[in-house]
Amino acid sequence: MTTSLPKTPNIDCVRSAAVRIQSHVVRTPLLESPHLNAIVGGRLLVKAEPLQRTGSFKFRGAFNTLLQLSEAERAKGVLAYSSGNHAQGVAAAAEILGIKATILMPQDAPKVKVENTMSYGATVVHFNRYTESREEIGKQLAFESGAALVKPYDDVRVIAGQGTMGLEIAEQLHELEVSPDAVLAPCGGGGLISGLSLAIKAEFPDAQIYSAEPEHYDDTAQSLAAQRIIAVEPKHKTICDSIMTPEPGELTFSIIRNLLSGGLVVSEEETRNAMCHAFNRLKLVVEPGGCVALAALLSHKIDVKGKTVVAVCSGGNVDAALYAEILAG
């Protein structure tokens, strides 16, 4: 079935994915707060994807991918490597479809992500994020079991699935009868922002789209500026565990290099501050990596005075202890 996929995903792939996964995804709301509007000086709409099944957008791409596996592929199971959100997305999608899932997770992944992944019936294998290659271990495991590897971002089906969030945002903006001047989303390997930009640009060609990343992991911002893939050294610790990716994917970058207006970078303090605003004003639990786009707007990385902007909050899987510490300031 996968032979009919184009090499690069297009808007038709995203629209097909939306139909395919519709019955199982949550149509997450666009939230708005007069206080946050006042901070940015414009109209700020927040896509509340922590309310998605598994607590992040990753379920969209994982489910879209698994639904396109053949019966023979499904029988051999699936394999994924992930710091946690893709893990949960794949595990939950596999559970729904009755597929065996094995997930490679770093030893220092947030406890809540490991526990949740196991709760969907997946087998979790740990590796050391700083000394071992998850790609190598993944290949070895896939070779032994014959399981299909579900890549975290550089895959047509995954990108199309994540892009369904962009179609939802567009639908919701049409319902509100507004056009966005800008749309911002957190960015790790680029699966979300590439799919999202396909959808947003199809519906609102004039909207500017920006990726948001944490300091030290601004590979996408650097790559967009240089118009070629630039890698960063993933040696720094960050609270943004879900998006500490060293470089954009080849496929994702081939899409976003043409569609994005730039990459924004936020400090850890700006991210913590945005998480507190999401708590106080939106009543939404957002994990650090899921909050960097909101952080970019609340700390004025671009001027949106008098404009309408959308910030994607992409996930909410944060350990209670860290969250409590951040709220306590």
Cα angle 157-159-161, degrees, rounded to a multiple of 5: 70
The one among 5, 26, 141, 149 contacting a second copy by CB under 8 A: 26
CA-nearest of 283, 311, 286, 279 to 298 is 311
What character string, x for contact with a second copy (CB under 8 A) and - otherwise, covers 271-300? -----x--xx-xxxxx--------------
- Asked if 142 interacts with a second copy (CB under 8 A), we say no
Cα end-to-end span (Å), the chain: 51
Sign of the four-CA dihedral 278, 286, 49, 233: positive
Residue number, 165 or 284, with CB nearest to a second copy: 284
Question: How many CB atoms are closer than 10 A to CB 197?
Answer: 26
Q: In what order do the strands lie in the sheet with 262-266?
A: 30-31, 43-48, 308-313, 182-186, 208-214, 262-266
CA atoms within 13 A on the CB side of 240: 34
If binding is defined by CB under 8 A, does position 176 make contact with a second copy? Answer: no
Minimum CB separation of residue 170 from a second copy in Å reads 18
Q: What are the structure tokens assigned to 44, written together?
A: 């700020």
Is 22 within 8 Å of 258 (Cβ atoms)? no
Interface with a second copy (CB under 8 A), residue total 32
- Pick between residue 205 and residue 329 the one whose CB is nearest to a second copy: 329
Cα distance between residue 309 and residue 303, in whole Å: 10
Please provide residue 37's backbone torsions phi and psi, each rounded to the nearest 5 degrees: -55, -40
- Compose the 95-124 pattern: x for residues touching a second copy by CB under 8 A, - for all others: -----------------x------xx----
Nearer to a second copy, 54 or 223 (CB): 54
The distance from CA 213 to its chain's CA centroid, rounded to whole angstroms, is 11
Q: Is residue 328 a contact point for a second copy (CB under 8 A)?
A: yes
- Which position among 9, 20, 42, 55 is part of the footprint of a second copy (CB under 8 A)? 55
Q: Are 240 and 84 in contact (CB under 8 A)?
A: no
- Residue 262, class by beta-carbon neighbours within 10 Å (0-12 exposed, 13-18 middle, 19+ buried)? middle
In this chain, which of 21, 31, 147, 160 binds a second copy, going by CB under 8 A? 31
Question: 48-61 burial, b if ≥16 CB within 10 A, otherwise e?
Answer: bbbbbbbbbbbbbb
Query: In the complex, what is the shortest distance from the CB of residue 283 to a second copy, in angstroms, rounded to a whole number?
Result: 3
- Which C-beta is closer to a second copy: that of 62 or that of 209? 62
- Give the nearest distance from C-beta 267 to a second copy in angstroms: 20
CB of 316 to a second copy, least distance (A): 3
Tell me, what amino acid is at 149?
Answer: L
Task: Choose between 51 and 149: whose C-beta lies nearer to a second copy.
Answer: 51
Is residue 127 a contact residue for a second copy (CB under 8 A)?
no
Q: Which is nearer to a second copy, 115 or 136 (CB)?
A: 115
In the bound state with a second copy, the residue whose beta carbon lies nearer, of 135 and 325, is 325
Q: Please state the closest distance from residue 264 (CB atom) to a second copy, in A.
A: 24
User: Considering beta carbons, is residue 28 or 82 the nearer one to a second copy?
Assistant: 28
39 binds a second copy (CB under 8 A): no
Helix (H) or strand (E) holding 62: helix 58-66
Q: How many CB atoms lie within 10 A of CB 76?
A: 16
Least distance to a second copy from the beta carbon of 51, Å? 6
Q: Which residues bind a second copy (CB under 8 A)?
A: 26-29, 31, 34-35, 48, 50-51, 55, 92, 112, 119-120, 276, 279-280, 282-286, 316, 320-321, 323-325, 327-329
